[in-house]
Chain A
Amino acid sequence: MKRWLSLLAVVFVMMVGMPASAFAASVAEPQTLRVYNWGEYVSDGSDGTLDVLAEFEERYPNIKLEYTTYASNEEMYAKLKSGSASYDVIIPSDYMVSRMIAEDMLLKLDFDNIPNFLDVMEDFKNPEYDPTNEYSVPYSWGTVCLIVNTDLVTEEVDSWNALWDINYDGNILIFNNSRDAFGIALKRLGFSQNSTDPEELELAKQSLIEQKGFLQSYVMDEIFDKMESGEAAIAPYYTGDGLIMQEENPALEVILPKEGTNLFVDAMVVPKGAKNKEGAETFINFMCETEIAYANVIDYLGYSTPIQSVYDQLDEEILNDGVSYPSEEYLATCDTFINLSDEDNKNLEEMWVDVMAAETGTEGGNPIFLILIFAVLFGLSIYRAVKKHRNREL
């Protein structure tokens, strides 16, 4: 009888204990979380900022972060599409989020695990790129601005036309990616940045080819170096980065062009194939915490925040700088990129290659030299072949 009782007791303990231990295991078991983000797009502890990733690992010691970066939405997309890697959290821009939703590449989020989503400003809920807001949580937002070096440009600049001003021949930079470059050209001509109209695109392309004649170079990250050192006079770039360059070189001025500009939102999403969705949601929630988001987006990135409680804490200085949080009226003139069809994307990229390959007349290739080399090479090999043949006959 005693035996029976003890057996019963054991069974009872096991029944009660099992779910508890199973639960404990799922919490304590070390897991990895693969985060794939833009380069230099998270606060890393440099210059006295908060090291956000280290903070996360400290708070959740059982989660180990594997953090990798990409340089463009397209690079990230190509990598995911090729299926060569799996990630748990990625942070693409608006149009790429909608493209990935359309191509069924994202998982729906469980917002019960992301209570901080309640703190997201109403303007950033149910955005155009994710109309039902089931897939994404905004990370930061910003605009494209004009950065002007006032040492080199004395007149007042308020328009994209400055990038086509021949007075600054050899001192103008522009984006080295098709979407942003065409976006500016289209906006300058008064068209939508999302235009797929062949005539409008052709006009934009012609204007970019015209601009190439007095351009210094096409840049992406190299712009920091070139604007901070005063190598170039005028360039378009992301406003948050413009403000960072301004800190390095006070002669730089950040201007929002009167024609309107591009408004972008980068959002956190979980791609299909994620191995740790719950961890991903924990991470997303963490990044939306007031303190973390403030340290990350305001202190480090210099971009604009979609989080209400962070916005409420902002300094007057930032709120009134005129570029970080533009007026409602100005934002109404801006375009947010939407996802283009494969066909339109391909078309745009081909036009961009046409622009890049266009000869501006100053420096043509010199095929005569090339042909000469090949002729000599060819001649020599024939000469050798003949000589060898003769030797054999002898």
Chain B
Amino acid sequence: MLKKLASTPYVLWMAIFVVVPLGMMIYFAFTTADGSFTLDNMLQIGKYTSIFLKSINLAVIATLICFLLAFPAGYLLSRMKTRRQNMMLLLIMLPMWMNFLLRTYAWMTLLENEGLINHFLELLGIGPLSMINTQGAVVLGMVYNFLPFMILPLYSVMAKIDPSLFEAAADLGCNPMLSIWKVLIPLSRPGIISGITMVFVPSVSTFIISRMLGGGQNMLIGDLIEKQFIGSSYNPYTGSAMSLVLMVLMILVMAAIGSFEDDEMEGIVV
């Protein structure tokens, strides 16, 4: 009874702010402006396949880079002494205390042709590089903004791994590379999965990063959806259909990644 009572606020929250909007989205996705059923909204999305592909492509690259950066970082972090660990964690979290928009704006002034980085390169005699308004800049923005979401779950899983397991692996003849492959990666799998989810999902649906760092020329699916709602025509129908397709795509990707999770228990038991 108490359990039920305690869960009420959260259940209410979910119902009002998750279930109802989701229902509205599905409703809008399959209706026309006058309220009758249609599949037209869905069929129109075919036109935007290239934008969908581009978004997923950039999000995958950003997630990969995040993983490559965060995996060693998370491991080193988890092996540090507590005091240094706290310090490092603070440093990782620090940028997140600043407004997301502000951080992205700062990157804009850094990467510009007349920006700080190019001024510095000029001093070194290296010609101005055009960095802003490219896909690379968009990926950089994603990596920068979402990296902590990869490091933190990896770190928290790795911190729980008993160091004696690595010693055991070494005793049994594993070189360091092999013990990473056989011990560290399998045991940190839940962290890897949640890290990938937490980076990939916001990356694929971001719109402000591509607008500010991509110069609006690298339109992503998030920008496209935004335009349906606050572009010159108010069109929640196509917008909802796009959001729905994006959601289904994400669920598919998550399911594919999640399939690795099943035998994770096996690994521990064996």
Contacts and interface: CB of A to CB of B under 8 A. Distances in A.
A97 to B, nearest CB: 15
Contacts of B215: 215-219
A353 B227 contact: yes
Contact of B216 (A176, A342, A373): A176
Interface in B191-225: 211-212, 214-219, 223-224
Interface in A208-228: 212, 215-219, 222, 225-226
A108 interface: no
A81 B234 contact: yes
Interface string B221-239: 0011001011111110000
Given A360-B217, A370-B57, A178 B259 contact: no
A226 B112 contact: yes
B235 A378 contact: no
A363 B256 contact: no
B48 to A, nearest CB: 7
A380 B260 contact: yes
Contacts of B263: 384, 388
A236 B204 CA distance: 31
B135 to A, nearest CB: 6
A366 B57 CA distance: 7
A350 to B, nearest CB: 8
A21 interface: no
Contact of B234 (A77, A231, A348): A77
Interface in A352-372: 352-353, 356-357, 359-360, 363, 365-367, 369-370
Nearest to B57: A370
A342 B237 CA distance: 14
B216 A217 contact: yes
Contact of B232 (A230, A348, A378, A388): A348
B209 to A, nearest CB: 13
A381 B114 contact: no
A258 interface: no
Interface string A328-358: 0000000000000010011011001100110
A229 B135 contact: no
A385 interface: yes
A385 B232 CA distance: 49
B50 interface: yes
A370 B56 contact: yes
Given A74-B232, A177-B232, A231-B112, A222 B212 contact: yes
Contact of A346 (B60, B132, B233): B233
- With most chain B CB atoms within 10 A of its CB, the pick from A219, A349, A384 is A349
A75 interface: yes
Nearest to B59: A370
A297 to B, nearest CB: 26
B233 A345 contact: yes
A377 B256 contact: yes
B233 A342 contact: yes
Interface in B138-156: none
Given A229-B112, A385-B259, A353 B217 contact: no
Contacts of B233: 342, 345-346, 348-349
Contact of A217 (B57, B217, B259): B217
Residue from B50, B132, B229, B233 with most neighbouring chain A CB atoms (10 Å): B233
A217 B133 contact: yes
Contact of B53 (A218, A353, A370): A370
A79 B6 CA distance: 35
B232 A178 contact: yes
B212 to A, nearest CB: 7
20 contacts: A176-B211, A176-B216, A217-B215, A217-B216, A222-B108, A225-B109, A229-B114, A230-B114, A345-B232, A349-B235, A352-B227, A352-B231, A353-B48, A356-B219, A359-B50, A363-B135, A369-B60, A370-B53, A378-B256, A380-B260
6 nearest A-B residue pairs (beta carbon):
A217-B215, A218-B216, A345-B233, A365-B54, A349-B233, A75-B230
Interface of A: 71-72, 74-75, 77-78, 81, 170, 176-179, 212, 215-219, 222, 225-226, 229-231, 342, 345-346, 348-349, 352-353, 356-357, 359-360, 363, 365-367, 369-370, 373, 377-378, 380-381, 384-385, 388, 391
